[in-house]
Amino acid sequence: MDTKDLNIESLIEMNELLLSILDEIDVGIHVVNEKGETIIYNKRMMEIESMDSKDVLHKDLLDVFSFEKNQSSTLLEALRAGKVRKNIKQTYFNNKGKEITTINNTFPIKKNGTINGAVEIVEDITQLKKHIQTRVLQKQNSRYNFDNIIGDSEAMLSIIEESKKATRTPSSILIVGETGTGKEVFAQSIHNESGRANKPFISQNCAAIPESLMESILFGTKKGAFTGAMDKPGLFEEANGGTLLLDELNSLSPALQAKLLRVIQEKKIRRIGDIREIEIDVRIIATTNEDPIEAIANNRLRKDLYYRLSVVTLFLPTLRERREDILLLAYHFIGKYNRLFDMRVTDMDNSVKEVLHNHDWPGNVRELEHAIEGAMNLMEDERIMRVDHLPALLYRKVKHKAEQVPTAVHMDEDINQEDTSHTLKQLKYKIKETEEYYIKQALEESKGNIAQAAKALGMSRQSLQYRLRKYQI
The residues of the shown chain that bind Mg ion, judged by CB under 5 A, are: 183-184
| Residues at the contact surface with ligand ATP, assessed by CB under 6 A | 148-151, 177, 179-185, 289, 365-366, 369
Q: Which does 177 bind (CB under 5 to 8 A by kind): Mg ion, ligand ATP, none?
A: ligand ATP
Which residues are paired to 231 by β-bridges?
A: none
CB of 118 or CB of 209, closer to Mg ion: 209
Burial letters for 256-286: b for 16+ Cβ neighbours within 10 Å, e otherwise?
bbebbbebbeeeebbbbebeeebebebbbbb
Q: Which does 283 bind (CB under 5 to 8 A by kind): ligand ATP, Mg ion, none?
A: none
Task: At 312, give phi and psi (nearest 5°).
Answer: -120, 120
**Which residue in 31, 122, 117 sits closest to 82, CA to CA?**
117
CB of 90 or CB of 188, closer to ligand ATP: 188
Q: At what angle do helices 461-470 and 450-457 cross, to 10 degrees?
A: 100
Give the span between the Cα atoms of 261 and 302, in whole angstroms.
9
Tell the smallest beta-carbon distance from residue 205 to Mg ion (Å).
Answer: 8
Tell the smallest beta-carbon distance from residue 184 to Mg ion (Å).
Answer: 4
CB of 106 or CB of 287, closer to ligand ATP: 287
Angstrom distances, CA of residue 27 to CA of 61, 104, 466: 19, 10, 11
Give the span between the Cα atoms of 40 and 53, in whole angstroms.
9
Tell the smallest beta-carbon distance from residue 330 to ligand ATP (Å).
Answer: 11
CB 69 within 8 A of CB 227: no
Give the span between the Cα atoms of 109 and 118, in whole angstroms.
5
Tell the smallest beta-carbon distance from residue 142 to ligand ATP (Å).
Answer: 12
Burial letters for 373-390: b for 16+ Cβ neighbours within 10 Å, e otherwise?
bbbbbbbeeeeebbbbbb
CB of 41 or CB of 201, closer to ligand ATP: 201
Tell the smallest beta-carbon distance from residue 428 to ligand ATP (Å).
Answer: 21
Tell the smallest beta-carbon distance from residue 182 to Mg ion (Å).
Answer: 8
Q: Which does 182 bind (CB under 5 to 8 A by kind): Mg ion, ligand ATP, none?
A: ligand ATP
Q: Which does 290 bind (CB under 5 to 8 A by kind): Mg ion, ligand ATP, none?
A: none
CB of 183 or CB of 271, closer to Mg ion: 183
Task: Return the DSSP state at 316.
Answer: P
Tell the smallest beta-carbon distance from residue 136 to Mg ion (Å).
Answer: 17
Q: Which does 179 bind (CB under 5 to 8 A by kind): Mg ion, ligand ATP, none?
A: ligand ATP
Q: Which does 181 bind (CB under 5 to 8 A by kind): Mg ion, ligand ATP, none?
A: ligand ATP
CB of 106 or CB of 163, closer to Mg ion: 163
CB of 416 or CB of 472, closer to Mg ion: 472
Tell the smallest beta-carbon distance from residue 37 to Mg ion (Å).
Answer: 46
* Kind and range of the H or E run holding 32: strand 28-33
CB of 150 or CB of 393, closer to ligand ATP: 150
CB of 295 or CB of 378, closer to Mg ion: 295
Tell the smallest beta-carbon distance from residue 336 to Mg ion (Å).
Answer: 18
Q: Which does 299 bind (CB under 5 to 8 A by kind): ligand ATP, Mg ion, none?
A: none
Angle of CA points 121, 122, 128, to nearest 5°: 160
Q: Which does 151 bind (CB under 5 to 8 A by kind): Mg ion, ligand ATP, none?
A: ligand ATP
Residue nearest to Mg ion (CB): 184
Residue nearest to ligand ATP (CB): 182
The number of helices, as runs of H, and strands, as runs of E, in the chain is 20, 17
Give the span between the Cα atoms of 25 and 263, in whole angstroms.
40
**Which residue in 253, 216, 258 sits closest to 237, CA to CA?**
216
